[in-house]
Structure 1
Amino acid sequence: MKKTVLIAFLLLFQFSFSKPITETQKLAATCKVWGFLKYYHPNVTDGSKNWDEQLFQILPKIEEAQTSEAFSLVIENWIDSLGEIKKQETLKPNVKKEYFDKNFDLSWFNKNELFSKSLSKKLKFIEENRNKKQQFYYTSKPYIEVINEVKYKDFKWTDKNLRLLALFRYWNQMEYFFPYKYKMDQSWDSVLIEMMSRFSNPESEKDFALAMREISIKLNDTHASTQMKQMSDYFGDKFITADVVFIDNKAVVVALKNDSLAKIDDFRVGDVVTKVDGKTVGDLINENLKYAEGSNMPATLKNIYWAVFNGKTESIEIEFIRDNTTSVKKVKRYTYSKLKITNAKNAAKWKLLDDAIGYVDVERIKADELPSVMSQFKDTKAIIFDARKYPKEANIEEDIAQYLYPEEKAFAKFIDADLTYPGRYVWREDQKTGKTNVDYYKGKVIILQNEKTQSHGEHLVMCLQAAPNATVIGSQTSGADGGTCRFEIIKGYSTIFTGFGIFYPNRKETQRVGIVPDIEVKPTILGIQQGKDEVLERAILFAKNGK
């Protein structure tokens, strides 16, 4: 009896440590190890190994491994084949770094159920004795730039090895060098598990291509998306002649791309489109959220236009409301080149409004125009800086701040990737601007913003917001401050994401949250139909009475 119990116990013990593992588990763990070694192992980070080829050689062995013990042994033998790593003497750094570590987590060394204790120990040793000098696969200027990746000009989606390489490259690039990974709705580890089958066993080329798009959208970053030529094949390359904003799951026409072409379809500003080819606008939005980039919902809605209205056909049927009457009609679609957009900029870059209130369009103002503008506005009771579009002039915010700040002041703080410790970020010194200026502008400084206020635009608002007597009016911004990093994942698939982190000097976040307005004002359907700029009107009211 005792012998039977002992045998049963031994069998149970053996099974518990030798249970079968799935392909997804193995590939996900391999992805993490491959990326870690790529950025940490001194004999890999020097570029002496063909690291892609190393992956292709190890994948068949990974496939053969049926237990966690077998898997760990394959990985350990692989690491051993890379050559000896010299143990480094621990030295005190010359410069003390203040780390931002919300993204950093290598605890998976010890938490992965596929890893043996000896494998975990090897990985930890590599971390402690990592390459701390120049890297082969990336540099920083000041945000990460991907370098020395093989392009694979003959890439075919049917090649499983190259599909997995594309996933492994992208996932690890974001794992170590996306500064806002910790702000995502979904953990990056769970994204890897979820998307693995889409890359290892896609149903079709379309499924693979859309997976490349979807994984970048999961960053919840308005800058982040993957671009490929197939997008126009799948979603169409023809546009309607109207520009819209989405309010309450309806598309409201706010401008016409081409007056003469729009007249053919009788599009009018204020028309409210409720259905497209029989589907409600709300349903079309929900179906396509996984393809539209955005740090927050307003930003996503700004970017989802093409998924709702674009297509391959020459026309579509829309249901729309005008003057409280619901109608249905066909409208034409055009390729971008044939659309011949005519909404040219005719409005003034700056002007004096009623009751001594100045107005400046920061999208178009140039630095060399500021002396004349600020001289003209120096005795006004308020200046309204309209930041609802993207500034074209580099560093225009600091040029404006010279007139608004009484002294030098910090308005932003950055984090940069630590090139000696991939995945970790270091706080940079405060970004300051301004100078001692007793003649600084003493009226109200009013900044207008909305979901089109993005990146440089958000940085501009942060800068002007730090001026005395400043008030921000409008709605949630795009929530994607910071410079962008672009690279080609593999031939035909280019991607972009926010490359470094930007915060307020007190380290308050702006990513996803955006710049929070002091007075929230959103356009309404009625206001659009009446031709009002409700945000600007609210700013003028505030300039006059301070309320």
Structure 2
Amino acid sequence: MKKILFFILTLVLPLYAICQIKQNKDIFNFDFETIVSGSPIKWGSNLPVIIDSLNPYHGKYSVILEINDSSKYNYQMLTISLPHGFKGKTITLSGYMKTENVRDGYAGLWMRIDPNQAFDILQTCKIAGTTDWTKYEITLPFDSEHTTGIIGGGGLNGKGKIWLDNFSVMIDGVDIYTLLQPKAYPADRDTVEFKNGSGITNIKLNKTRIKNLKDIGMIWGFLKYYHPAVRNGNYNWDYELFRLLPQVINEKNKQRRDAALTEWISGLGEIFTNNRNITDTLSVLKWIDESGFSPELTAQLIKIKKSDRQNECYYVNMGPAGNPVFNHEKTFDSMKYPDTGYRLLSLYRYWNMVQYFYPYKNIIGKNWENVLAEFIPRFAKAENEEEYVLAAMEITAGIHDSHAILWTPSSTVLRQYFGQREAVPKISFIEQQATVTAFYNDTLDREHGLKIGDVITKIDGKSINSIIHSKLPITAGSNYQTQLRNIARQLLHNNDETIKIKYIRDGCSKKTTLKTFPKNEADRYFRFAPSADSCIKKIAPNIAYLYPGLLKKTDLPLFWKAIKDADGLIIDLRYYPSNYLLSDVANYLIPEPKEFVKFFRGSIIDPGSFSFTPAMEIGEINSDHYKGKVIILVNEGTQSSMEFSTMALSQAPDARVIGSTTAGADGDVSYIDLPGGIKTMITGLGVFYPDGGQTQRIGIKIDEVITPTLEGIKAGRDEILEQAVEVINE
């Protein structure tokens, strides 16, 4: 059984935001000279970085990581993924760093080699205080034959400000650039013909054309991930779609259409088959036999299904955690409103990624093949950028995954649609009613007259129920409660300077007008989480409280001192963390290793096939573990790594989970790029209890369900926390 590495959770988002590497000289952007939308390409970070043109060590730019005293965060990591197919025994990461008033911790470089080979997390070169540009380096041993991933970069743990610049990597003392053997992919050379448009516009849809478009989309995606020549990067598969569509889209005669498809596929290259037994776990290939294709086309597709494929693919590979990383997917950012061909490409690309690599396809709740046919008119007929983006938002929301948010970083269309201004009240759905539960800013709009506990019934003349009804189809969420959570965050957004609302207080209906503010003024992203000085405390003489998101390694002795003699420990996982030392906390609570999770991973060789990993363990042998009750608090804000953490920490001997339905999105994410600069995600790794119990959509197992009430909100009570205290005192 495998033991968990504590650091994997803290880097899950930045790691998989990084694009897969292309083999050319500027591939790594080690000196941060290539900046897109204010960020250095190829690099990720758990917090926004600052690009500095005034203090570079080399070239035009350096990168600043900064955490000030008022920040709720206590660490920031800059991350890059490195290739790992080199023969060698050691890898050295070096970089230049400058610091200013680094305190309550230190800065340094870091690197990790998977699976579980070696890591150095800011330990080799601990830099504090104020220092000028200095070169630092760390060297780790690695087994090149068994390495599945290498990530590294620079980071700050504590407070202060650091600059980073001019990184380099050496394998056994040889610069990585001299070891790179550029591979010329034919797909990378096919870049001109359709760069300004697909040439496919104004498709007049009818039943035959929609059927043709559906079949083409399914065959195109199947070949993308199954045909050896396409997998090897011999074709720009986006452009091949544009070459194919005009040949078959208008063909009314099915036999002629299938003959044209058969001829096109034959031109891709010879196929060699083997006798492997393919396990079609999620039934993604049944359509080949059930679609009514000609015998020749069906036989051809079956032969490709049985083709001899290697464990690598130009368009996708598996990340260190086992979730898909989609490669070589052009974003076509300049096409804010792509033409019909590119919009269909967007639909086909997304549909097939879900078809072959989404571990929860079987619980979407709809026939995924029918979804493709349903959305062909939506994408083909979109008359402007907004309609196109909303169609993409609806199909992504339709997989019912809390990770499946959609954004357009280079476009304002969504910001305009949802509103670029907002009022200061914070809304949550309490007893299924839109309730004021806090205020984002206490200094703005003091005249609004609202109080905590007021229930909003109308916004600018629209009832809350009608707003919910209109927003649900485009709102990502694994379950209804999480969709309401996300809708609540947008209720008081608009593009005007005021919002008129109706609300109920103590049974009486009232009206008021709220001022709106730019989001940065309203402090929209302030998290209502415990403050840094309250993450470890006694809330009663016999009860300790932990908010682990702000816990630092240096706090662990204080944590043990606070809990060791307490009757109960409350761990609050209702807020997404800025940091979390999962294994360190678990080792205090669990007396011996215990299984708590197993993963459901996809396959590169046979896309659509998934298999369970052995169960993973948490904890270590510890006779001096904590002996009291452990109560874990959860709600709809408990998502992803917090759900994973709940599964792990609930293995403590006397642990109970108390609260309401969690977000139901428990697994590493995979990023997706679509034409027009659209970006979205899927949960790319299935997460299950060791007995096979489901976590996606339904959330984490809860021992005692407690939901906040209107009366409790009005009284300023935390009813979930109160119940935890009551359980401890029983």
TM-score by length of 2: 0.69
Retained in 1: the 8 A contact 2:431–2:708? no
Secondary structure at 2:653 match in 1: coil
Instruction: Report 1:265-276 matches (<5 A).
Output: 265-276=448-459
Q: C-alpha separation between the residues in 1 aligned to 2:276 and 2:256?
A: 37
> Which residue does 1:490 correspond to in 2?
675
Moved more, 151-160 or 206-215: 151-160
Retained in 2: the 8 A contact 1:413–1:430? yes
The alpha carbon displacement at 1:314 in A equals 0.9
**Which residue of 455, 479, 488 corresponds with 1:305?**
488
Retained in 2: the 8 A contact 1:481–1:510? yes
Q: C-alpha separation between the residues in 1 aligned to 2:636 and 2:523?
A: 25
- Confirm or deny that 1:125 pairs with 2:125: no
Q: C-alpha separation between the residues in 2 aligned to 1:221 and 1:184?
A: 9
Retained in 2: the 8 A contact 1:21–1:66? no
**Which residue of 49, 65, 84 corresponds with 2:270?**
84
The alpha carbon displacement at 1:117 in A equals 1.6
Task: String of CA shifts for 1:103-123, please: whole Å, max 9, x gaps.
Answer: 23311011113x112211110
Q: C-alpha separation between the residues in 1 aligned to 2:669 and 2:623?
A: 37
Q: C-alpha separation between the residues in 2 aligned to 1:446 and 1:133?
A: 44
> Which residue does 2:695 correspond to in 1?
510
Secondary structure at 1:171 match in 2: helix
> Which residue does 2:512 correspond to in 1?
329
Q: C-alpha separation between the residues in 2 aligned to 1:315 and 1:491?
A: 32
Retained in 2: the 8 A contact 1:256–1:343? no
Q: C-alpha separation between the residues in 2 aligned to 1:234 and 1:516?
A: 37
Q: C-alpha separation between the residues in 2 aligned to 1:457 and 1:340?
A: 24
Task: String of CA shifts for 1:368-405, please: whole Å, max 9, x gaps.
Answer: 312221222111111011111112224x2222110111
**Which residue of 349, 356, 360 corresponds with 2:546?**
360
Q: C-alpha separation between the residues in 2 aligned to 1:133 and 1:102?
A: 18
Moved more, 243-252 or 162-171: 243-252
Moved more, 409-418 or 198-207: 198-207
- Confirm or deny that 1:181 pairs with 2:367: no
Moved more, 155-164 or 479-488: 155-164
The alpha carbon displacement at 1:262 in A equals 4.2
> Which residue does 2:103 correspond to in 1?
none
> Which residue does 1:530 correspond to in 2?
715
> Which residue does 1:470 correspond to in 2?
655
Q: C-alpha separation between the residues in 2 aligned to 1:87 and 1:146?
A: 26
**Which residue of 220, 231, 238 corresponds with 1:52?**
238
**Which residue of 364, 377, 397 corresponds with 1:197?**
377
Retained in 1: the 8 A contact 2:426–2:489? no
> Which residue does 2:120 correspond to in 1?
none
Q: 1:153 to 1:285 in 2, by over 3 A?
A: closer
> Which residue does 2:618 correspond to in 1?
433
Q: C-alpha separation between the residues in 2 aligned to 1:369 and 1:307?
A: 37
> Which residue does 1:149 correspond to in 2?
329
- What amino acid sits opposite 2:414 in the alignment? M
The alpha carbon displacement at 1:158 in A equals 4.9
**Which residue of 389, 399, 404 corresponds with 1:209?**
389
Retained in 2: the 8 A contact 1:21–1:68? no
- What amino acid sits opposite 1:359 in the alignment? Y
Instruction: Report 1:169-318 matches (<5 A).
Output: 169-228=349-408, 229=411, 230-318=413-501
Secondary structure at 2:571 match in 1: strand
Q: 1:130 to 1:319 in 2, by over 3 A?
A: farther
> Which residue does 1:10 correspond to in 2?
none
**Which residue of 262, 266, 290 corresponds with 1:111?**
290
Q: 1:301 to 1:102 in 2, by over 3 A?
A: farther
The alpha carbon displacement at 1:355 in A equals 4.4
The alpha carbon displacement at 1:23 in A equals 1.1
Higher-RCO chain (CA-CA 8 Å, sequence separation at least 6)? 1
Secondary structure at 1:22 match in 2: helix
Q: C-alpha separation between the residues in 2 aligned to 1:488 and 1:105?
A: 22
Task: String of CA shifts for 1:213-271, please: whole Å, max 9, x gaps.
Answer: 11100010000022123111222111110111113442111111000114232332212
Task: String of CA shifts for 1:433-491, please: whole Å, max 9, x gaps.
Answer: 21111111111111000000000000010001111111110011000001111132123
**Which residue of 593, 605, 616 corresponds with 1:408?**
593
CA RMSD of aligned residues (A): 1.9
> Which residue does 1:161 correspond to in 2?
341
Q: C-alpha separation between the residues in 1 aligned to 2:227 and 2:312?
A: 12
- What amino acid sits opposite 1:467 in the alignment? A
- What amino acid sits opposite 2:286 in the alignment? S
Instruction: Report 1:445-460 matches (<5 A).
Output: 445-460=630-645
Q: C-alpha separation between the residues in 2 aligned to 1:279 and 1:510?
A: 35
Retained in 2: the 8 A contact 1:318–1:328? yes
> Which residue does 1:383 correspond to in 2?
569
The alpha carbon displacement at 1:306 in A equals 4.3
Retained in 1: the 8 A contact 2:456–2:503? yes
Q: Comparing both structures, which one devotes a greater share of its residues to strand? A: 2
The alpha carbon displacement at 1:185 in A equals 1.8
The alpha carbon displacement at 1:31 in A equals 0.4
The alpha carbon displacement at 1:21 in A equals 5.6
> Which residue does 1:137 correspond to in 2?
315
Q: 1:440 to 1:158 in 2, by over 3 A?
A: closer
Identity of aligned residues (%): 35
Retained in 2: the 8 A contact 1:475–1:516? no
The alpha carbon displacement at 1:91 in A equals 6.4
Retained in 1: the 8 A contact 2:476–2:483? yes
Q: C-alpha separation between the residues in 2 aligned to 1:277 and 1:383?
A: 45
The alpha carbon displacement at 1:308 in A equals 2.6
Q: 1:153 to 1:389 in 2, by over 3 A?
A: closer
The alpha carbon displacement at 1:304 in A equals 0.9
Task: String of CA shifts for 1:468-518, please: whole Å, max 9, x gaps.
Answer: 111110011000001111132123211111111111111111000101211
Q: C-alpha separation between the residues in 2 aligned to 1:328 and 1:376?
A: 48
Secondary structure at 2:443 match in 1: helix
Q: Comparing both structures, which one devotes a greater share of its residues to helix? A: 1
> Which residue does 1:8 correspond to in 2?
none
Retained in 2: the 8 A contact 1:357–1:382? yes
Retained in 1: the 8 A contact 2:407–2:414? yes
Task: String of CA shifts for 1:333-387, please: whole Å, max 9, x gaps.
Answer: 1111222467785461111122401111122222331222122211111101111
The alpha carbon displacement at 1:423 in A equals 1.1
- What amino acid sits opposite 1:108 in the alignment? W
Retained in 1: the 8 A contact 2:590–2:619? yes
Moved more, 70-79 or 525-534: 70-79
- What amino acid sits opposite 1:507 in the alignment? G
Q: C-alpha separation between the residues in 2 aligned to 1:287 and 1:400?
A: 43
Retained in 1: the 8 A contact 2:537–2:562? no
Runs of 5+ unmatched residues, structure 1: 1-19
Retained in 2: the 8 A contact 1:276–1:317? yes
- What amino acid sits opposite 1:176 in the alignment? Y
Q: C-alpha separation between the residues in 2 aligned to 1:91 and 1:203?
A: 46
Q: C-alpha separation between the residues in 2 aligned to 1:53 and 1:518?
A: 53
- What amino acid sits opposite 2:516 in the alignment? R
